[in-house]
Amino acid sequence: MAATLQQQDLRVRGELTRAIAALGHAPPNADLAELCDCPVEAVEQSLDRLQDAHCLLLHPHSHRPWAVHPFALSPGSCWVAAGTRGWWANCLYCAMGIVAAVDLDADIHTRLGGESEPLVVRIRGGRVENAAFLFHLSIPVRHWWDNVIHACATFQPFRSEADIDDWCRRHALPKGAVMTSEALWAFATDWYGDYVAKPWRKRDAAEIEAIFARHGLTDAFWTPG
């Protein structure tokens, strides 16, 4: 059963998200405790509950954040560069979410299919400038948190449907959902756009369903577990 979040947990998640946006990395838990005006032990209890509720991921056997979506805290498949600032993301969806959340022009550096060919996605003035690629999500929503790092790693950009089919065959991975870059940007902006600007809260099932529906994400792939 998912953990029941307390108001303090939401504050910890919000302050942690804003600190990562500002610093480019997670602050020590002692600094996070100062931001939240509570003891370190209380912050660590909140982090445990947030992980149990699938609101972030901690390194195993520790209270050190590993992934605080949309931010990755170890090298991921994407690097988001905005002037002199930068952040890691575990997939292009999260990378676009970072750009939306920090509200800056940015270049996202990644690779087609996670393989050898580089791709730079330029976002300027709230729009994707080079939009001629597809985004493939291999793992369905209901299994994302079975292993969220692996799930994100299988979400990759491609030039064509044929390239997606070939990639799935070569890597023995299932073909899942395919989105245009414009659709991906709209979805990432809707989901992550207020993560830094507004107090953080966990969406309930009805809100998630409504967001998916707004973007036409209504088939079985998008059904939560």
pLDDT on residue 19 = 98
Q: Report d(CA 202, CA 48) in Å as an integer.
A: 15
Do 7-68 and 92-222 agree at the fold level?
Answer: no
CB 109 within 8 A of CB 118: yes
Q: Report d(CA 99, CA 106) in Å as an integer.
A: 7
Residue by residue, pLDDT tens for the chain (225 residues) are 456 899 999 999 999 999 999 999 999 999 999 999 999 999 999 999 999 999 999 999 999 999 999 999 999 999 999 999 999 999 999 999 999 999 999 999 999 999 999 999 999 999 999 878 999 999 999 999 999 999 999 999 999 999 999 999 999 999 999 999 999 999 999 999 999 999 999 999 999 999 999 999 999 999 987
Which residues is 106 bridged to in the sheet? 123
The answer to whether the Cα torsion of 69, 74, 80, 84 is positive or negative is positive
pLDDT on residue 132 = 84
The string of pLDDT tens digits covering residues 77-128 is: 999 999 999 999 999 999 999 999 999 999 999 999 999 999 999 999 999 9
CATH number of 92-222: 3.30.450.410
Domain boundaries, the chain: 7-68, 92-222
- Packing angle between helix 92-102 and helix 181-192, nearest 10 degrees? 50
pLDDT on residue 68 = 98
Q: Report d(CA 41, CA 33) in Å as an integer.
A: 9
Polymer length in residues for the chain: 225
Cβ neighbours around 182 below 10 Å, total = 11
Enumerate the H helices of 24-171 as residue ranges.
29-36, 40-52, 92-102, 148-153, 161-171
CATH number of 7-68: 1.10.10
